[in-house]
Amino acid sequence: MKIQLNLARVNLTPKKIEVFCRPFDPVDRMLAIRSSLDAGWDTYRSGKNVYAWKIASEGKEPGAPWQQAKISFDQEPNLFVRLLEAGLRRYFESQGLELLRRKVPLLADLNTNLLDGVLSTPCDRRVGIHPVYSIEGFLSTDEQGERELLLLVGTRTQWRLSIPVSELTSAGVDCTGLGVRMMRVGVTEEMQHLAGKLVGAVVQVNGDDIEISDPRDPNFFRVPAKVTWLEGSRASFRRYFTAKHPGVSGRVWQEVLGTDSKETKPRESLRRVRQLLRSMSQQSINLTDGLSVTVGSLVATGTSILSTSWLRQTEFVFDYASKTTDTLASRGLRRHGPYDKTQPPFKEARFLIVCPKPYEPDARTFFGKFEQGCIYPNRQKQYYDFPGFSNFVRAGRSQIEFAVFDPKAKNSIGASYEYALEGALRRLGADINLCFVMTEDAHKELPLEDDPYCIAKGMLFGHGIPVSELTVEEARADKYRLPFILSGMALQAYAKMGGVPFVIKADPDDRTELILGVGRADVGASRFGKKRVVGFATVFKSNGDYLVGNVQPFKDPDNYGAELSQVIEEGLREAIEREGVEPGTPLRLIFHNYKKSGGYTEVAAVEAAIQKLTDYSLEYAFVHISDTHGWLAVDEDDQHGIAPRALRLRLGPSSCLVNIIGPREYLGKGTPGLLKVSIDRRSTYRDLDRISQQVFDFANVSWRGFNIIIRPVTIQYAHLAAELAGKLGQTKYWQPSMLKTFLRDKKWFL
């Protein structure tokens, strides 16, 4: 194993500079402070101070209340992080890279088109896949507390169709339904706030204008076709190649996909990072007056900066006494049965299958195997056999009821499903453990009011019946895939019906411990315009058993702290009551927050909720979990460059990287994302080793299926619940009160 990260050494000269400084008062606004300075100055706020430095020779020095000050790296290391990022951003812009984002600079190399020389058919060079680089300063702290500034260079690709929509439509490209982005140049002053952004989806092109739906700005339902591009999505590329290269579009499309897959794999990503670093080597880059930087080589792992260790393999438990365990959940469930088999949620299951008439033969064949079992063809791998639902969960023989209907009985497919469900409820009542709705992949493109799965959930949740979906494409799967589909559906069905298939073996502890996923999610049908903001708190035992979930739409999406605090407090109090935690009991709370959804507001909401739990001896950790960072780990001894599963790379006293996907789990596409785990400085419990092990284990305990997920269930379940609640909230059957009643402790979102 030879692990290499995308982290490079830098040398600042000198490590003390002259800047201008002024106090930052609570009434101040950074926008106003920046506006008061000449264009030749850049700024950075750190706590109660604001710093400014010159980036152009013509910039006039600021007057009072600004004062000159000499600041060293040891005094304000974060200031030097900002100086490094801002200076390198300007350097790369001068080299012809296009700036996509200023904070933690993101730049696209439009001079390099990765499709050049790859496609078998000549193609317009304005259609391309381009390398994109992120530039981020990183402060490393050793055991003695000494800090060092390093450079993190991330890389990915950007698909771009840099052809005006007016030109595309003239060439016969159908742009209907595709997202459009405003160009950065040529935009009128009234639309300047939309420059470079996705503004909506094409309804139709009328002359020089595009009519758009789902507008980012409700004031603009029409935008000029000559200053808009299609978003660089796969759908846009497919549409373009179909129109421009009709005879060979399929072959060209596969060449495009192959190029992107190759260029985003670990080895290629690391090669591009090294290439960018070489372009900066052997030169001193000016960051500001009196400060320059030279960029060195990549940092090796195993040093004091980047220490490595191994996470313990997750152990799954299948009985209350924790005597029957296995390191594979699927194998353990087949051998030992579910965790709660001595206290099952039902004796024998009764399923309702809602199925269009054309799919009836497929449905009866599939659910026959669902109950009776299915043999994996390769008998050397008979551990993949599916033993049938009843045997799988150690229950009595299942009763399966079919509701077969004519999909053309009503004027829409959604209305036909609705009619069939109403008839099934009249005939069978609510004495159903779970309903399977049989659909097809194409139904996923239907509007919500016509989506059979959403209609079924909305209707049946009101009767306390959970719902699962089966597509006809899954029912017709080949004999090698079918056992996996059946076992995944059985796992999910058992959990939705109130069962606990398995838990994880937790570290012994003298405190009661609860783990929560908290935060916000933007949900709804809108892609570009305003979305519904939903707060969530999901509560788990330390062994991964789901206790309760609270999902609530915010009334004020821009100021949601108090509402989120209430969501957290309600979830906590109910979980504490369910667990029978007595007042005065030592209690540890671990809060997981997905970094993309925020941070500062979430921490304040957690602190506000904790302050109300005065009856308990509390310690807590607020843990930021992110998979949208720029870190890359490559094993240069592995054929594909995939780092080993369960590898932990410590970045400092309170943060580390955790690798979930190893060579055995890798599916051959792109670079598996590392999880960055960071403990917030306001936490009172700070055991990084234990917390990171817990995050790793919780990424293995999903009851949605046996495949490995890349986020812990604390985050995954919460986002599934928020997303589904957002969708169902737009249907006529949904009642938000259901979330606070019988759905509160159910896994309805799986």
Written as one string, the DSSP assignment of 506-526 is: PPP-SSEEEEEEEEEEEESS-
Are both 530 and 389 inside the same structural domain? no
Q: What does the alpha-carbon distance between residue 432 and residue 495 come to, in Å, rounded to a whole number?
A: 15
Instruction: Check if the beta carbon of residue 202 is closer than 8 Å to that of residue 175.
Output: yes
Nearest 5 degrees, angle CA 616-CA 619-CA 625? 130
3-state secondary structure of 738: helix
DSSP 456: H
Are both 112 and 194 inside the same structural domain? no
CATH number reported for the structural domain that contains residue 584 in this entry: 3.30.420.10
Which residues, in sequence order, are bridge partners of residue 134?
Answer: 106, 154
Are both 148 and 216 inside the same structural domain? no
CATH number reported for the structural domain that contains residue 357 in this entry: 3.40.50.2300
Query: Residue with structure tokens 């004999």?
Result: 479
Nearest 5 degrees, angle CA 302-CA 306-CA 310? 70
Instruction: Evaluate whether residue 148 is within a structural domain.
Output: yes
Residue 509 CA, distance from chain mean position:
31
Q: How many CB atoms lie within 10 A of CB 72?
A: 13
3-state secondary structure 41-65: EEEEEECCEEEEEECCCCCCCCCCC
Position 597 scores a pLDDT of 45
Are both 450 and 551 inside the same structural domain? no
Position 310 scores a pLDDT of 93
Domain boundary (448, 466, 496) is at: 496
Closest Cα to residue 331, out of 381, 371, 378, 383?
383
Instruction: Check if the beta carbon of residue 369 is closer than 8 Å to that of residue 486.
Output: yes
Which helix (H) or strand (E) is 651 found in, with range? Answer: strand 647-652
Closest Cα to residue 706, out of 457, 480, 384, 439?
384
Are both 41 and 98 inside the same structural domain? yes
Query: Residue with structure tokens 């974060």?
Result: 78
Instruction: Evaluate whether residue 136 is within a structural domain.
Output: yes
Instruction: Check if the beta carbon of residue 478 is closer than 8 Å to that of residue 497.
Output: no
How do 41-46 and 316-317 pair as beta strands? unpaired
Torsion of CA 678, 683, 687, 692, to 10 degrees: -30
Give residue 408's domain range: 345-496
Instruction: Evaluate whether residue 335 is within a structural domain.
Output: no
Instruction: Evaluate whether residue 357 is within a structural domain.
Output: yes
- pTM, full prediction: 0.90
Residue 742 CA, distance from chain mean position:
28
The identity of residue 98, as a single letter, is E
Query: Residue with structure tokens 């269009």?
Result: 356
- Residue 351, CB-side half-sphere exposure with 13 Å CA sphere: 28
2: its two tokens: 């030879």
What order do you get walking across the sheet with 512-523 strand by strand?
Answer: 307-310, 647-652, 655-658, 675-679, 617-626, 586-594, 512-523, 532-541, 546-553
Are both 295 and 378 inside the same structural domain? no
Are both 51 and 69 inside the same structural domain? yes
- What radius of gyration do the chain's Cα atoms show? 28
Give one DSSP letter per residue of 192-244, joined into a string: GGGTTSEEEEEEEEETTEEEEES-SSTT-SEEEGGGEEE-S-HHHHHHHHHHH
The identity of residue 665, as a single letter, is E
Q: What does the alpha-carbon distance between residue 438 and residue 351 come to, in Å, rounded to a whole number?
A: 13
Q: What does the alpha-carbon distance between residue 603 and residue 605 come to, in Å, rounded to a whole number?
A: 5
Are both 525 and 618 inside the same structural domain? yes
Q: Cα separations (Å) of 362 from 350, 401, 471, 493, 673?
A: 20, 15, 10, 19, 37
Instruction: Evaluate whether residue 319 is within a structural domain.
Output: no
Are both 288 and 243 inside the same structural domain? no
Number of domains present in the structure of the chain? 4
The distance between the two most distant Cα atoms of the chain, rounded to a whole number of Å, is 83
How do 434-439 and 348-356 pair as beta strands? parallel
Cis before 65 (ω within 30): yes
Instruction: Check if the beta carbon of residue 213 is closer than 8 Å to that of residue 201.
Output: yes
Give one DSSP letter per residue of 671-714, joined into a string: -PPPEEEEE-TT-S---HHHHHHHHHHHTS--SS-SS--SS-HH
Q: What does the alpha-carbon distance between residue 625 and residue 621 come to, in Å, rounded to a whole number?
A: 12
Instruction: Evaluate whether residue 640 is within a structural domain.
Output: no
Mention every residue, 6+ apart, whose C-beta is less than 8 A from residue 46: 76, 78, 79
Instruction: Check if the beta carbon of residue 361 is closer than 8 Å to that of residue 351.
Output: no
Instruction: Evaluate whether residue 99 is within a structural domain.
Output: yes
Instruction: Evaluate whether residue 631 is within a structural domain.
Output: no
Q: What are phi and psi of 245, to 5 degrees?
A: -135, 65
Are both 195 and 230 inside the same structural domain? yes
Are both 87 and 7 inside the same structural domain? yes
Q: What does the alpha-carbon distance between residue 564 and residue 533 come to, in Å, rounded to a whole number?
A: 11
Residues of the chain with pLDDT under 50: 597
Position 558 scores a pLDDT of 67
Q: What are phi and psi of 463, to 5 degrees?
A: -100, 5
Which residues, in sequence order, are bridge partners of residue 285?
Answer: 293
Q: What does the alpha-carbon distance between residue 318 and residue 282 come to, in Å, rounded to a whole number?
A: 60
Q: What are phi and psi of 649, to 5 degrees?
A: -115, 115
Are both 151 and 48 inside the same structural domain? yes
Q: What does the alpha-carbon distance between residue 151 and residue 299 come to, in Å, rounded to a whole number?
A: 10
